[in-house]
Amino acid sequence: MSSRLSISRRLTALAAAWCVLIACAQAAEQNGKPEKLSLASMFSDHMVLQRDMKVPIWGKAKPETAVTVQVGDSKQETAADSRGDWSVVVGPLKANAKPIEVTVKSGDDTKALSDVLVGEVWVASGQSNMEFHVDRVKDAEKELAAADAPEIRFIDVPNQYADEPLGAFKSDGWQACKPDNIGNFSAVAYFFARNLQKELHVPIGLIGSSWGGTPMEAWTSREALNSSPTFRPLVAAADAKPKNDAEQAQRKKSAHNRPSRLFNGMISPIIPYAIRGVIWYQGEANAGRHQQYAELSKLMIADWRNRWGEGNFPFLLVQLAGYEPGGETWPPLREAQFETLKAPKVGMATAVDIGEQKDIHPRNKQEVGRRLALVAEAIAYGKKVEYSGPVYREMKADDGKLRVSFDHVTGGLKAEGDVRGFEVAGADGKYVPAKATIDGDEVVVSSDKVAKPQAVRYDWAAFPDGNLYNGEGLPALPFRSKKN
């Protein structure tokens, strides 16, 4: 417990230091003190503000001038500081699908934003499977034609990286979802929002911030990485001068993947915009270093939460889909993703059963979004819904067989045909395929080749073929009873 408290205190202190860095970076970006009123990049027409929560609004103005911010009927006054930075906090606001205006005034300058809604706001981040666009999914033409959803709004942070935290980005601003504009946005995020909006009946705002082929350490702040003995050497190695021309060239191909550069360029500018939580689809780029992934995940999540200052907001991740070239590193990476669930308000939707054997980018993003929405309903909104497939609880020896029990067995255990995907091992630790049968809420596994099984695992392959589900149609999560 003391270790966790120490880490939390360090991260809190680092968050304060980060705020100083942000201010310096923003001042540098302005090339001097601002002379005109402006709002931060996150604010535009058509945006969604987070309901039932304090909402920060910030920007630039002529130094030491008064600034008035009006959101609907709520008015706040402040003054720009000596650098021209200003910020206010409004709300909490009630959900509202009827558009309101946000008006900011400073001296003779006025900025008016129209068609602003109040609802639920989520950040969608990660690598290529989160970046994967709606126009590439299965049945894309049909999905695009049906995407007339004006209460779903989205903004996309462009791919940019930096050595220091940035405070701004260039984009087209917030857009209301229509068939002619959603095609180039994250499919997972869109289908997540579509399902969530149907359940909550409030506007949904999505902040897209993804870049294909990127490792988690690039999305984690420098201060957080340096707070960990495990990852401090990673930062030092990235800072070291290249040893030769080959290493120099390799760095220029992968410049954006260096530690913290995507946090600086693509996460920093959206903080502290009020959000409900984060959906995260990433891990492929870290599979070769799966031993560190659970620790890195918890570090990054804690760091983001500290910087947003909203407490333990929900952080929902996608467990890697089946993909045969993933090889031996993908099963333990999935296990590391599962271990992240030990952190508070972290949830997971698995995609292990809906991958494509030779394509790292499965097209069935509809089901991924649906499963993430179920997790959000349970973890973020406290709804009593089944949001996970069967999760391994324990095993017991039973006369040369193993009885395996599970949590999340709503509606009972189900399998179409013979139960597939189970393996058992004896004292030698060598796994062989097992015969498996469902017995109530347990699965009984055995093999003629293992007289006294001591371990069991399920779907332990890069592209597994397990077919165990619960009655809600959610797949069992891969597991192994022993790490060996």
Region 266-282 average pLDDT:
98
pLDDT at 315 over 90: yes
Note the pLDDT tens digit of each residue in 177-197.
Answer: 999 999 999 999 999 999 999
Note the pLDDT tens digit of each residue in 7-37.
Answer: 444 544 444 444 444 444 444 444 457 789 9
Q: Which domains does the chain have, with CATH numbers?
A: 1-29+90-99+109-387 (3.40.50.1110), 391-480 (no CATH)
Angstrom distance (rounded) from CA 40 to CA 87: 10
Per-residue model confidence (pLDDT) at position 32? 59
Q: In degrees, to the nearest 5, what angle opens at C-alpha 309 toward C-alphas 53 and 387?
A: 70
- Would you state the structure tokens that stand for residue 223, as one six-digit string? 């201060």
Note the pLDDT tens digit of each residue in 327-353.
Answer: 999 999 999 999 999 999 999 999 999
Per-residue model confidence (pLDDT) at position 484? 66
